[in-house]
Amino acid sequence: MSFPEPFALYPLSNFDLYNIRSIFLTGWLVEGIIDHQALRLALANVTQKWRLLAARMVSSKEGKNTIWRLKIPLGDLPDVYSTFSLTTSTSDVPLSHYIPEPISLVSPSLPPHVFLHPDTPRNSIQHEKKNHPLVSIHLTFFQSENAPRTAIGFARPHSVFDAFLASKVIEAVMAELNGREWDVPPLPPPGPIPNELQDYLDASETRPDIASALERPLDIQPLSGYTEIGISGAFRTLFYHVIKGIWWNEASRYIILLPKKALDYLVNGVRSELAREGKDTPRVSSGDVLIAWVWKTIHSTETSPDKKVHVSNFASFRNLLPPNPPSLRTHLHNSFITAPYPLLSISTLQSQSLATIAHTLTSSRQSTPDSIKFQHVVSSSRAIRTAKIAAPFHPHADEIFSVSNVSNSRILEVDWGCISSIKNGKTLCGYRYIQTATGVNFVNVLFISGRLPKDGSIVLDVYLTKDRINLLREEVERVVRLAENSDGR
């Protein structure tokens, strides 16, 4: 089938291209059986109105480089042109085959296949080869007379979507399901269109204040973003996070449902301690408390005091871009680098209090001048384009703890109860996965998925070795007990 005309061609940025070999998958486990016909109609309306979502991924060779673009249809679409994918299946095993119900404080993660159809592409290359839509939704029904459940999976190429765009898509779907108006982005003009973000970053490389820093990117402190890690760094990362972590130490994915009272206990305790020490500025964030808490816990029995560890926490850089044109700060695609956290030794991580570590993390993010942070953005963009192997890792770290906090997107909090067979059916849990064609994932990963609307519990999705998940399980249970017995400090 020839591609419908007219169409726009939108080039991907360097940050998009870094994620060309993976897809992102968000999952919700909800009460009841979801009305897939109602969902199909909503998806059809959203992707028909918002034509970016109806695009296809295309690539072309230009010299030695492969250029990736989105081919966006602008006119009438033939019936054979799919603007989305919606698939369904019924599980041949009960939900209890995978997880306990009610879901415990720490439970195994549901396997990705519950949320992902086997034919859905696992990277952008497969998206192009299969001519597959960008938006893929898969429903798995767990039929039960007393407690029916639906697993809802939203898969999309990571080269196009970050958490910001993904949340906008789900917001639009929810608006359609509930008969509400939503802001439909305007159609782009036909033909080649610029990537404003990439053009702005490329032009910024020649600014005197930026150009001088780019000569020595590792001198931009504290370190943030993407850097050249080289072949040795790539092998070191592969050894620790794949071979040693998965094959030798039986790494697994787990979900932690941290009750709101336990989270408040942790955060309020840290803030109270810092206030007594006169360190209440800047105000430590709940996200940094959670990161520091998990980080300290998984390294609490480490026996190599000089080992250097680092947190690679992904954060949006949209607020660092100029307000004009406004489209820069509302850029829909990948716009994140790692936060400027310090490199710490195991001895420091173990000896300092949770409050001190959390304050260090927040201070590192908030005390760095914006101009320095923007230098990191430009340096990262150039590193992805020019380095043999670039990665969002500290090149001097012996071990990386990767964190992604999407709680601000509130994607977990959407109400699927509006199309559930159970009136006002609740979301029981949320899940996040990065999937690749190889099926290999890195260990030492924490996803802060957000809060469950039913009770305010925070969902933490972790991929850790067996020893570390046991340490974290014990710590979660300890904090929950203390919170239950506390006076709500």
The structural domains of the chain, ordered by start, are: 7-184 (3.30.559.10), 201-408+438-485 (3.30.559.10)
For residues 18 and 392, give the distance between their C-alpha atoms in angstroms, rounded to a whole number.
10
H or E element that contains 317: none
Whose CA is closest to 75, among 58, 44, 51, 106?
A: 51
Identify the pLDDT of residue 174: 98
For residues 14 and 251, give the distance between their C-alpha atoms in angstroms, rounded to a whole number.
31
Which residues in the chain land under pLDDT 70? 1, 240-242, 244-249, 367-372, 487-489
* Residue whose tokens read 């260990």: 443
Both tokens assigned to 420:
């559930």
Please spell the DSSP secondary structure of 211-228, one letter per residue: HHHHTSGGGSSS--S-EE
Q: Enter the pTM of the model.
A: 0.95
For residues 356 and 323, give the distance between their C-alpha atoms in angstroms, rounded to a whole number.
35
For residues 46 and 184, give the distance between their C-alpha atoms in angstroms, rounded to a whole number.
9
Tell me the three state secondary structure of residue 342.
coil
Cross-strand pairs, 70: 10, 57
Whose CA is closest to 403, among 465, 344, 448, 450?
A: 448
Identify the pLDDT of residue 456: 93
Identify the pLDDT of residue 86: 98
Identify the pLDDT of residue 372: 63
pLDDT tens, residue by residue, 10-38 = 999 999 999 999 999 999 999 999 999 99
Task: Fill in the DSSP letter of residue 19.
Answer: T
Whose CA is closest to 122, among 443, 419, 441?
A: 441
Of the chain, the end-to-end C-alpha distance in Å amounts to: 64
264 burial level (CB within 10 Å; 0-12, 13-18, 19+): middle
